[in-house]
Amino acid sequence: MEKIKKRWDIVKNWQLVFPIIGFLLTLATGYYFARKVLHLIDFNNTPWEWPITLLGTCLLTYLLLKFFLWCFQKLKNKWVTQYRWEMIAIFIVFAITGSLSARLAAPLVHLLGLDYETSSGWLYWPVRILIIFPIYQLLLVAIGWLFGQFQFFWAFEKRMLKKMRLGFLIP
């Protein structure tokens, strides 16, 4: 445990929640993708279903952890944080925000009378992306605040809007 605390600059025990949540979310993602692959190759309801799921989950979780650690190395100089554990919190916020904004956009697009099955993809997807964008911007700051990273995400939001020439939207 001390090795994890030292590696992630954890000075208080409550900060351990971020590596734990990060690992559990990575494990859940590995399981989700392993099950999707299992469905694709039609291995459901076979004696090998759960051993392959377990092996796939472990393999994908390992690969995802390696990828995320590589991303942390690449971004540690670009994203200025006081402690390394804050990088995990930032990644978690991005993951939750992206997933949640995509989920929330679906019913809003439906309220506009557009459905994936009945509408042209040329209309459906641009409208959905246009709806996702403001939801994402609001959720990014709100969820960042919940995870104690408001300052990082507020600065990130301002930079992103300025680069998109939408800086007039912020005070």
Residues 53 and 118 in one domain: no
Residues 12 and 73 in one domain: yes
- Domain endpoint, select from 61, 78, 95: 78
pLDDT digits (tens, 9 = 90+) for 147-171: 999 999 998 988 888 888 877 777 6
Residues 23 and 53 in one domain: yes
Total tally of structural domains belonging to the chain: 2
At residue 25, the pLDDT reads 94
Residues 150 and 89 in one domain: yes
Residues 5 and 66 in one domain: yes
Structural domain boundaries, residue 170:
82-171
- Look at the pTM and tell me if it is higher than 0.95: no
At residue 130, the pLDDT reads 92
**How far apart, in whole angstroms, are the C-alpha atoms of residue 37 and residue 54?**
12
Q: How many residues does the chain have?
A: 171
**How far apart, in whole angstroms, are the C-alpha atoms of residue 143 and residue 152?**
12
At residue 3, the pLDDT reads 85
Residues 89 and 166 in one domain: yes
Share of the chain above pLDDT 90, in %: 49
Quick one: which of 165, 145, 20, 23 has its CA closest to 90? Answer: 145
Residues 87 and 59 in one domain: no
Residues 35 and 59 in one domain: yes
At residue 129, the pLDDT reads 92
Residues 92 and 23 in one domain: no
Residues 74 and 129 in one domain: no
Residue 132 has pLDDT above 90, yes or no: yes
Residues 102 and 149 in one domain: yes
At residue 102, the pLDDT reads 92
pLDDT digits (tens, 9 = 90+) for 99-114: 999 999 989 998 988 8
Residues 109 and 137 in one domain: yes
pLDDT digits (tens, 9 = 90+) for 31-90: 999 999 888 888 777 788 889 899 999 999 999 999 999 998 899 888 888 888 899 999
- Domain endpoint, select from 38, 55, 78: 78
Contact between residue 83 and residue 15 where contact means Cβ atoms under 8 Å apart: yes
- Domain endpoint, select from 46, 61, 78: 78
Q: Which residue has the tokens 């804050």?
A: 86
pLDDT class of 124 with cuts at 50, 70, 90: confident
Neighbours of 33 (CB within 10 A): 17
At residue 105, the pLDDT reads 92
